[in-house]
Structure 1
Amino acid sequence: MKVRERIEELEYKILAPFAAKSRDAVRERDESPCDFRTAFQRDRDRIIHSKSFRRLKHKTQVYISPGDHYRMRMTHSLEVAQISRTIARSLMLNEDLTEAIALGHDVGHTPFGHSGEYALKDLIGCYSHNEQSLRVVEHLERNGQGLNLTAEVRDGILNHTGNSKPLTLEGNIVRFGDRIAYLCHDYDDGIRAGMLRPSDLPPNVASTLGTNPSRMITVMVSDIIIKSTGKKEILMSDPVKNAMDQLREFMFEKIYHSPELEPDRKKARYVISKLYEYFMKNPDSLPQEFLDREKRWGLQTTTVDYVAGLTDLYAIKIFEKLFIPSTWAQSK
């Protein structure tokens, strides 16, 4: 019996009856199974080794061009994976599937975080990072061939946010894990940036979740595990869910929509808009691999794919090259 087969057999023995099983995973294109890794383990590895995942280390989470200790998209994704794996293991659900979804959920994010996302949405009328993440893994990676991930991972990536919930419990864990991670860690970064103090938190948030980011995560993760054990859905108690929702409202007011960060958000949207407009008017300036895709996807989609895939630093570099006189750029 191969290593993979032993793992697949073990999943049926130790995982909850309603956990996703690797043996049942389905891919859009058939391929020979690995001797050692399950389908979900392979998906995780493909995401980690992808170019789009590597680029997350230079994509904004909240603060544009931050210092060394602030979160970027990659650190956020790793933190979502850690939180989600803890929940999955405690509930005897499929940890490998959970990790793959968590690591891949933001690979379609634009430069400059949600500011870039909103800029593209304004330009083309419809853009969301979860849909772009799915597009990245399905069509853009591996020179346009995609990663051929399992349906379970693709579903979890697409539905980690938005109105539709994932089909698997593992995907629903990541949906919670993503929110827990960004709220607590953006709060932590807000304190580091001097924009927040623990005493600023709403009283119910402080009394229910605490004021320390680590404690907040522990309270919410523990609550999910306790409420969801033995259930066929991922749940959170009303008091903790209400506190989490209040924390989210607080973070939108104080950080995500804060006047202090608005100048940088405007600059980010401007950079994205100018790059999009330039490449739409000058498509021959796109890299050859994107020009090769234009016939299949059209100029607008190809331009969006390129601009959305840029890192913050590279987007700024291209902007300076195209729109800033060279003597100005060199004198910085």
Structure 2
Amino acid sequence: MNTHPAPVMDPERFAPYAAHEGNSRGRHHPEDPPRYRSQFQRDRDRIIHSTAFRRLEYKTQVFVNHEGDLFRTRLTHSLEVAQIARAIARVLRLNEDLTEAIALAHDLGHTPFGHAGQDALNLCMADYGGFEHNLQSLRVVDVLEAHYAEFDGLNLTFETREGILKHCTPAAAAALGDVGARFIQGHQPSLEAQLNNLADEIAYNNHDVDDGLRSGLITVDRLMEVTLFREAFQEVRTRFPDLSEKRTRHEVIRRMINRLVTDLIDSSQARILAAAPDSLEAVRLQPRPLICFSPQIREYNLELKRFLRQHLYRHYRVKRMTVKAARVLTELFQAYMADPALLPTEHEHKAKRLAAETGDAGRARAIADYLAGMTDRFAIAEYGRLFDPNTLS
């Protein structure tokens, strides 16, 4: 039994409404406290060392992994979210370690091929409980990671698990126990979880602009329709009229991110001051989130999201990639359901075990777990192994 005390955290470091070890709801499986790090640092470290985290390097954001080496992946996106979220947490005196853990874990359950993969797998699972990457991320850290002798999953703290679960239907929440209760009760998550939701948006919207411009799928001329981009671009061009295209793009993106982050901090500070929560529980009982953009910047951010949906995510070249990606996952799912013996031995045994417990739904869930864990390149290779007659191994 470890008798060493947990590290003493500076009480002045956090605001009274922040999450800290003293108000944590703990872990499902009790463990001795870490000696030289906080409980939330332990969560972060377990996430970084997980198999699912390493696989994010080869999971796509918008562009399929083999399209180019410089486009964002789920891994680079998660790191960018963590950087933005920690910066905000520090100013608001929230728990930076918890904030970072949530950011690094939020995409662990994402399928290969981004949202196209999720949509395809959800259709495949329509008769078996559906598939949602947010719930899958929680399933990864609660069940699927297999490293520790005393428990399945990573045995993360309640607060990290709560932050991973960004949204959830009441029906799904009812099956999740403690971490799903707030969706039934109408309560808010911690401020660390709330800020991660918006840091995620800031990161992927602005970096999709960057990737979209570098790919040539969207142009500066079209982006001038977007207020956030136009105002940042005009500022850069006025100050640096002879700047190269590459540096101009970077200067514009950094100004857009800075404007969103600054507004989020200012607006959130004002809302926190007005609500005056004196504890984490007081945060949970608020009628609405306290981390938010101002009304004007919220509208500008929505304008950017609408532009990306119309001109990047629906671009015919992206559409071609997503159609092919959906075909890969759909046909793999159908093949495994028809003949689980096609699965690697470990996953075949799991499919049989879950099928014995809950029938076809169990088999389908085991197959969905396997497919969701694939990287882009592995899914493409597996498709070739099953369906290309020239690939017989």
Please indicate, yes or no, whether the TM-score normalized by the shorter chain is above 0.5. yes
Partner residue of 1:148 out of 130, 152, 155 = 155
**Is residue 227–residue 236 contact of structure 1 (8 Å, CA) maintained in 2?**
yes
In the other structure, the counterpart of 2:73 is: 72
Worse overlay, 183-192 or 62-71? 62-71
Deviation digits for residues 95-114 of structure 1 (CA, Å, limit 9, x no counterpart): 00000000000000001111
In the other structure, the counterpart of 2:175 is: none
Q: CA RMSD in A?
A: 2.3
Shift in CA distance, 81/177, structure 1 to aligned 2, threshold 3 Å:
same
**Is residue 161–residue 175 contact of structure 1 (8 Å, CA) maintained in 2?**
no
In the other structure, the counterpart of 2:142 is: 138
Q: Which runs of 5+ in 2 are unaligned?
A: 171-182, 235-251, 278-289
Write the letter of the residue equivalent to 1:236: F
In the other structure, the counterpart of 2:322 is: 265
Deviation digits for residues 45-65 of structure 1 (CA, Å, limit 9, x no counterpart): 000000000000000110012
How far residue 127 of structure 1 moved from its aligned partner, in angstroms, is 1.4
Give SS of 1:152's match: helix
**Is residue 228–residue 256 contact of structure 2 (8 Å, CA) maintained in 1?**
no
- Find the aligned partners of 1:314 and 1:196 in 2 and give their Cα distance: 29
In the other structure, the counterpart of 1:218 is: 258
Shift in CA distance, 103/282, structure 1 to aligned 2, threshold 3 Å:
same
In the other structure, the counterpart of 1:175 is: 197
In the other structure, the counterpart of 1:306 is: 370
Write the letter of the residue equivalent to 1:185: H
Worse overlay, 288-297 or 14-23? 288-297
Worse overlay, 115-124 or 203-212? 203-212
In the other structure, the counterpart of 2:21 is: 22
In the other structure, the counterpart of 2:267 is: 227
Give SS of 1:326's match: coil
In the other structure, the counterpart of 2:124 is: 123
Give SS of 2:15's match: coil
How far residue 286 of structure 1 moved from its aligned partner, in angstroms, is 2.0
Q: Which runs of 5+ in 1 are unaligned?
A: none
- Find the aligned partners of 1:289 and 1:151 in 2 and give their Cα distance: 30
In the other structure, the counterpart of 1:48 is: 48
What is the percent sequence identity of the aligned residues? 42
How far residue 272 of structure 1 moved from its aligned partner, in angstroms, is 0.2
Shift in CA distance, 156/107, structure 1 to aligned 2, threshold 3 Å:
same
Write the letter of the residue equivalent to 2:87: T
How far residue 203 of structure 1 moved from its aligned partner, in angstroms, is 4.5
Alignment of 1:99-114 (within 5 A): 99-114=100-115
Shift in CA distance, 307/166, structure 1 to aligned 2, threshold 3 Å:
farther
How far residue 180 of structure 1 moved from its aligned partner, in angstroms, is 0.5
How far residue 23 of structure 1 moved from its aligned partner, in angstroms, is 3.0
Shift in CA distance, 203/99, structure 1 to aligned 2, threshold 3 Å:
closer
How far residue 210 of structure 1 moved from its aligned partner, in angstroms, is 5.2
Aligned length: 326
In the other structure, the counterpart of 1:280 is: 337
- Find the aligned partners of 2:261 and 2:54 in 1 and give their Cα distance: 28
Deviation digits for residues 263-283 of structure 1 (CA, Å, limit 9, x no counterpart): 111100000001111111121
Shift in CA distance, 293/136, structure 1 to aligned 2, threshold 3 Å:
same
In the other structure, the counterpart of 2:8 is: 6
Worse overlay, 177-186 or 117-126? 117-126
**Is residue 226–residue 304 contact of structure 2 (8 Å, CA) maintained in 1?**
no
In the other structure, the counterpart of 1:248 is: 305
Write the letter of the residue equivalent to 2:159: E
Shift in CA distance, 160/179, structure 1 to aligned 2, threshold 3 Å:
farther
**Normalized against structure 2, the TM-score is what?**
0.78
Give SS of 2:153's match: coil
**Is residue 109–residue 139 contact of structure 2 (8 Å, CA) maintained in 1?**
yes
